[in-house]
Amino acid sequence: MRWTSRVRFLFLAPAVVWVLLFTIFPLGYSLFIAFNKIDQTTQVERVKEPVLDEAGQPVLDSKGRPRTKNVVVRNTVTTTEFVGLTNFKRLFTDPQVHEAIKVTLVFVLIAVPIELCLGFLIALLFNRPLMGRSTLRAIMILPIFATPIAMGYSFFTIFYEEGGPLAFTGIPWLSNPNWALFSVALVDIWQWTPFCFLVFLAALQGVPDELLEAARIDGASGPDILFKVLLPLLQPTIIIVLLLRIAEAVKLFDIPFALTGGGPGTATQSFSFLAFRTGLRFFDLGYASAMAYGLLAVVMVVVLLFFRRLRQSYG
Amino acid sequence: MAERGAAAQLRWAVFSILAIAVTMAFLFPIYWSFSQSLRNPLDTFTVAGFGIPWVNFEPTLGNWIDQVGTPETMHALYNSTVISIAAAILALLLGVPAAYAVARFQFRTWKNQDITIWFLSQRILPPVATVIPFYLIMRTFNLLDTHLALILINATFVLPFVVVILRQTFLELPVELEESALVDGASYWTAFWRVALPLAAPSMAATGLIIFAFSWNEFLFAVAISSQNVITIPVHIAGAVDTRGVQFWFMGVRAMVAVIPPVLIALIAQRYIVRGLTMGAVKG
């Protein structure tokens, strides 16, 4: 029909302008910051000021001179100095950055595959007739929406090594650097396996029964059906879930913030966490922006790898 | 199937028990916090078994009364509610017309799916890349520690959800209804406002709830922007731990206060969650 009217731009414009203003502009600004060294110095000055009475007249002391008081004046001066690629060069030599990349990478490599596999297995389980299936499914959704920061602290009490509910295992959940990273991954697995489960279940329920029946009649075994029928059919869904999980997992921030504070040492200091601390705790804004751009580049690569698939599913 | 009835029933029972066990394992952390919130502080580490109220310990509402009534908690609840509602409304106002545009109209230079993916890509953007410029911009405009700053930020960050989910909704509505309105001389705006929008209302409501929950849970920007006035629930939780160490019994209460609203939303908006979380790439 006539769905080509110019009115379409009016419908689209507010959201586009908004994104340009609140996402693209900040990103550009961030790039500008990354090429600069921003220093904030607070100059503290003591100034003697005459004391005034209510009428605005100077108050005199016993010798007849105006009384003065000391006033502290704080002046925050921000200086911006162009430093070229310095901040980006620092990324390559900073051991903290390398450590944070390693932490994030190990986290992604532990959490994401487990989430997908476990989610798929639970989806297979829930794809059969079960007692109270819809109630159980509803409960399974809850972790996805539970406030990550709150659950981080909640898991802190669960992993507590002296008297927590998992203390009987004798595992140093949070005090050993390797275990601490695994514990962080475990919280993420707890939160996001249900997401993988939910999406895979939706996809499995879309598989026509006749197809499985036909495969069975042809004498296909259980594993045959899984690997030759279900997995190929679900491949597009699996790729989307994988993309979304990787893109989300590399942003890891809330869980280590609450659960371990990045520790012990820097064992669970993820890349986002390091960038946040560098920028907004130590106020090395230029360097933190360079870090953020590093992460952005990685996410872009991941997205581009999946881009064609993504474009198809919105076609 | 009749001769296999007994075997099938056994399988049904075994798999049901397995499914219940899996579900309970995933519910445990939330349940544990709830259990802790009901314990007398002295019982924190001495409770046996699964910490079931009345069975393993005598529950008390003392922690709830001590914690929920404090001005800090009330203030944080107020802030989180105001910010999340305002951000959801703003994002819907901006996003729904855009979703309608990509669902119905035909764009040429930039194809419809390119526009959709452009919106979607912001969701994939690491928030730490925008938190620093946002902080500086808000400081320049003297908006640090204001509701407005967090409303603007949260609306920006949930906007792609609105566009992508509502696009799918509009695509599934029969276009004939709007077209017959257009034939009758209605404007595009009327077709959108009077015909499509009422039909999309349930999906809009569900999307509103889901993005409310996302803003509610948001922590990175909240902790960067707030210092006193606009402490949200997640920042409140983190701050309380900073000053007092983890007091398990109060932690339980605060975690529950934070978790209950988004979790209730998850139950209400269940049907839309798959679509919402996969950004419409998978139909639930």
Contact between B32 and A157 using a beta-carbon 8 Å cutoff: yes
Within 10 angstroms of residue A98's Cβ, the number of other Cβ atoms is 12
Residue A64 reports pLDDT greater than 70: yes
Mean pLDDT of A221-247: 86
Mean pLDDT of B193-209: 92
- Angstrom CA distances, B201 to B43, B104, B204, stand at 48, 17, 5
Mean pLDDT of A270-285: 90
**Given CA atoms B147, B203, B262, A189 in this order, what sign does their dihedral have?**
negative
pLDDT for A41 equals 76
Phi, psi of A45 (to 5 degrees): -125, 145
Q: Does A289 touch chain B (CB under 8 A)?
A: yes
Residue given tokens 């697995």 in the structure block: A189
Closest listed residue to residue A233, CA positions, set A256, A250, A197, A208: A208
Q: How far is CA B10 from the centre of its chain?
A: 39
A103 pLDDT band, cuts 50/70/90, is very high
Amino acid identity, position B8: A
* Residue boundaries of the structural domains of chain B: 2-60, 65-277
The span from the CA of B138 to the CA of B144, in Å, is: 5
Helix A177-205 with A148-158: angle, nearest 10 deg: 120
pLDDT for A26 equals 92
Least confident of A305-314, B166-175, B250-259, B260-269: A305-314
The count of CB pairs under 8 A between chains A and B is: 305
Residue B277 reports pLDDT greater than 80: no
Least confident of A35-44, A115-124, A233-242, B128-137: A35-44
Query: In A212-283, which ranges are E strands?
Result: none
Decide: B131 and B221 in contact? Cβ < 8 Å.
yes
Mean pLDDT of B92-104: 94
Closest listed residue to residue B147, CA positions, set B217, B77, B86, B94: B86
B261 pLDDT band, cuts 50/70/90, is very high
- Angstrom CA distances, A180 to A60, A99, A155, stand at 66, 15, 12
Residue to substitute from A120, A157, A282, interface B, most B β-carbons within 10 A: A157
The span from the CA of B282 to the CA of B274, in Å, is: 7
Query: In chain A, which ranges are E strands?
Result: 36-50, 68-82
Q: Looking at chain A, how many residues does it have?
A: 315
What pTM value is reported for the model? 0.88
**Residues of chain B positioned with their CB less than 8 A from the CB of A315:** 113
Q: Looking at chain B, how many residues does it have?
A: 284
Amino acid identity, position A270: S
Who among B115, B152, B219 is closest to A148 (CB)?
A: B219
Closest listed residue to residue B221, CA positions, set B141, B118, B143, B116: B143
* Residue boundaries of the structural domains of chain A: 38-81, 86-313
Nearest chain B residue (CA) to A33: B133
Helix, strand, or coil (residue B284): coil
Contact between A16 and B252 using a beta-carbon 8 Å cutoff: no
Q: Which two tokens stand for residue B278?
A: 């996969």
Name, in order, each residue with C-beta under 8 angstroms of B50's C-beta and a sequence gap of 6 or more.
Answer: A165, B35, B56
> Which CATH number does the domain A86-313 belong to among 1.10.3720.10, 1.10.10.10, 3.10.450.50, 1.10.260.40?
1.10.3720.10
Name, in order, each residue with C-beta under 8 angstroms of A97's C-beta and a sequence gap of 6 or more.
Answer: A90, A91, A271, A274, A291, A294
Contact between B278 and A240 using a beta-carbon 8 Å cutoff: yes
Percent of chain B's residues with pLDDT above 70: 93
Q: Is the bond preceding A264 in cis, omega lying within 30 degrees of 0?
A: yes
Where residue B47 falls (left for φ over 0; alpha for ψ -120 to 50; beta otherwise) is: beta
Who among A9, A29, A154 is closest to B133 (CB)?
A: A29
Amino acid identity, position A11: F
**Residues of chain B positioned with their CB less than 8 A from the CB of A18:** 94, 155-156, 159
First to last CA, chain B: 31
Within 10 angstroms of residue A65's Cβ, the number of other Cβ atoms is 10
Within 10 angstroms of residue B229's Cβ, the number of other Cβ atoms is 11
Distance from CA of B264 to the nearest CA of A (A): 8
The span from the CA of B208 to the CA of B92, in Å, is: 7
Contact between A145 and B263 using a beta-carbon 8 Å cutoff: yes
- Angstrom CA distances, A52 to A66, A67, A71, A72, stand at 9, 8, 13, 17
Strand-pairing partners, residue A75, are A43
The span from the CA of B185 to the CA of A143, in Å, is: 49
Contact between A276 and B131 using a beta-carbon 8 Å cutoff: yes
Confirm or reject CATH 1.10.3720.10 for domain B65-277, answering yes or no.
yes
Mean pLDDT of B69-92: 94
Closest listed residue to residue B222, CA positions, set B74, B71, B68, B84: B84
Name, in order, each residue with C-beta under 8 angstroms of A282's C-beta and a sequence gap of 6 or more.
Answer: none
Percent of chain A's residues with pLDDT above 70: 98
**Given CA atoms A248, A254, A259, A261 in this order, what sign does their dihedral have?**
positive
Q: What is the ipTM of this complex?
A: 0.89
Distance from CA of B98 to the nearest CA of A (A): 4
pLDDT for B244 equals 63
- Angstrom CA distances, A127 to A206, B200, B270, stand at 11, 30, 17
B283 pLDDT band, cuts 50/70/90, is low
pLDDT for B159 equals 95
Contact between B36 and A157 using a beta-carbon 8 Å cutoff: yes
Decide: A280 and B227 in contact? Cβ < 8 Å.
no
Least confident of A212-226, B34-48, B88-102, B227-241: B34-48
Mean pLDDT of B70-78: 91
Least confident of A70-74, A272-276, B45-49, B183-187: B45-49
